[in-house]
Amino acid sequence: MSESTVKLLNNPYGEATFDLFRRDERAFADKTLFIKYLDDESMSYYPILHRPRRFGKSTFVQMLKCFYDISYQDRYEELFSGTRIYDLNLPTHNSYHVINFDFSAVSTGDLNKLLTSFFVAVSRGIDDFILRYPDFVFDYSKLDETDPATLFTKFSMAYRKFSKSQNLYVMIDEYDNFANEILSKDLELFLKITSKDGVLKTFYATIKSLTTDTIAKTFITGVSSVSLDSLTSGFNIASNVTDLDCFNEYAGFTEDELNILIPKLVDVEKLGVPPKEIISRMKPVYDGYCFSAEADKTVYNSSMCLYYLNKVRQKGVFLNPEDYLDPACDQDGYKLEQLFGLADKETVDTIIDRYLQGEPFNLLKLSENINLNQVRKYSREQLLSMLYYLGYLTVNRNSTLDSGISLVIPNQFMSKLFAKCTIEFRFRNNAVFSSQKLDVSEMMAVEDDLSSFASSCTEFLSLIMSNQVLVHMKEMALNLVLYAKLEELSKDDFEVRLQKSLRVAGEGEKFADLVVTVNKGTDTECIYLIELKYLTKTEASDKSRESIVNKAIKDASDEAITYKSALDFKGKNVKAYAMVFAGPDCVYCEQQ
């Protein structure tokens, strides 16, 4: 292959400073057209938009700042020529004095540290304003450094003298970040800052009071509605527009955007893989997010995509997206476990059961104002709403509900986090579940016959099903319980993967149920690929439906053969098996 001379742009992973993107030759997805919806006459002057973490909210806020702020007027051509909003020539560009606050770095220590840190975050926004407007004079050196509400009030008084008009545009990024962090560590402190006289309510009440003569508009981003009650009860003119169809793709990447971005970030010619194939490989792991029931597109987690594409560029080879996950995301399921810990066991059990059945999560409506000062435990509606806001669940675009909302797990990455939490909450501390081990001696000896393994699976499943460790057994549950038991045996030379992502030539991305590697790193390393199918005993014993058993065997066998040919296994010793269960009984286990 000839040496490529393609000029690539820099990857914006971890960067949010929109005004530097063109100077630093960084690629970016053009989200400017969403400005027209903010300018629409029917739009609230005080919108709030939620999205999960690492979706590009901060970049969007910085872009709005560059578009609306008067101080960027001389750079309008530089920053926006060629973008989708440029040709509309909206009269609102560079027509406001913008002050923006970023609360993502507010300390989550004790109350005093939090107040001081909150004050610093507000003062940084003010300092940035002063840098952009040298004629603006404001000295806050003698103010109480634990009182951010008074700081902003004094700033506004100085602004009125400076502007002589109501032209201030307040932008707040990650309004709830520190509150969410505190919630995961210190419930009492969280309740204190979100209470009636807490710092959050006081600060936003101050903003509301200034909309009468100082503030023209606000734009607020965050992750969840867990502290929205504190915001909206103090700032009750704010409008939550999170689920509007027009904003569905304001954060995250669409496939069309990735088609444009990938050739700018990766030398696809040298790689020998077209953008379409790269996207198809990324799709099951990073895609699937939808934030409006009326939307016709899903979006990818933008930070995940940029992290992965950066690794592909660095290594110069086509990589498995599943093995390159943004380290800033919840890879180990810790935050998901914390959420489950804020609900009672019965609520968590109903959600886990629904997950194991592979069914969507239906509710009448999303909770918009979740106030833990009023309830100490999440209800089912509140827990599902939080799972949605944080990106663990998303809107089900295939829902047939006449009313209410249906949520699903968006992709394989999130499904595996649910799997980890299910293991921890349902299996790990269950005496019955822990009382028996699976027999993997045949695998360790690299044998072809897995009869002992199959028998130990039957014995184990009979035990947990008869003791109601699992009330509803389905194929997903079967996968998970066998994975959980095999994972207990993990060590340096034994590794098990659940729903492992594989690249099959001509068929794209596939997912193998169980992939067990034994004698890892040695001359006798061997990979056991196992495809599982589950039938109820009634289905398997019904003579009039014998074809169901045969079909399950054929499907599992065909999948095992196909997955064995995956490019990931090239040059490796792979043994592929089809296993079919009727209730707890393994009725078929053969090498393919």
194, 117 in Cβ contact below 8 A?
no
What are the pLDDT digits (tens) for 479-523? 999 999 999 999 999 999 999 999 898 887 899 999 999 999 999
Give the pLDDT confidence score for residue 576 in this predicted structure: 98
Bridge partners, 559 (sequence order): none
Domain annotation covers residue 157: yes
Supply the pLDDT for residue 168. 98
In a domain, 367, yes or no: yes
d(Cα 55, Cα 35) in Å, to the nearest integer? 18
Cα 553 → chain centroid: 36
Q: Identify the weakest region by mean pLDDT among 131-135, 185-189, 559-563.
A: 185-189
Mean pLDDT of the chain: 91
- CA-nearest of 527, 499, 301, 517 to 417 is 499
Cα separation values, 287 from 301, 321, 409, 413, 414, Å? 6, 12, 11, 10, 10
Structural domain includes residue 538: yes
Q: Same domain for 132 and 176?
A: yes
> Does the structure show a pLDDT above 80 at 269?
yes
* Residue 531 identity (one-letter amino acid): E
Number of residues that make up the chain: 592
Question: What phi and psi, each to the nearest 5 degrees, are found at residue 138?
Answer: -160, 125
Domain's final residue, options 204, 232, 247: 247
Query: What is the C-alpha to C-alpha distance for residues 338 and 355, in angstroms, rounded to an integer?
Result: 18
Neighbouring residues of 364: CB distance < 8 A, sequence distance ≥ 6: 381, 403, 404, 405
With a pLDDT cut of 90, the percent of the chain lying above it is: 70
| 403 lies in the same domain as 551 | no
Residue 70 has pLDDT above 80, yes or no: yes
Say yes or no: 377 and 446 in one domain. no
Q: Are 446 and 373 in the same domain?
A: no
Measured between alpha carbons, how far is 423 from 434 in angstroms, rounded to an integer?
11
pLDDT of residue 2: 46
For residues 125 and 169, what is the distance between their CA atoms, to the nearest angstrom?
A: 12
Q: What is residue 1's predicted lDDT score, i.e. its pLDDT? A: 41
Among 412, 446, 467, the domain-final residue is 412
Spacing of C-alpha 204 from chain mean position: 27
Do residues 104 and 170 share a domain?
A: yes
Q: Into how many domains does the chain fold? A: 3
Amino acid 538 reads T
For residues 274-283, average pLDDT: 94
Q: What are phi and psi of 24, to 5 degrees?
A: -90, 10
Which residues have C-beta within 8 Å of that of residue 186, sequence separation ≥ 6?
Answer: 108
Instruction: List pLDDT tens digits, range 384-429.
Output: 998 999 899 999 998 888 889 999 999 999 999 999 999 988 888 8
Mean pLDDT score, 56-73: 97
Two structure tokens written together for 114: 């939090």
Please state the pTM of the whole predicted model.
Answer: 0.90
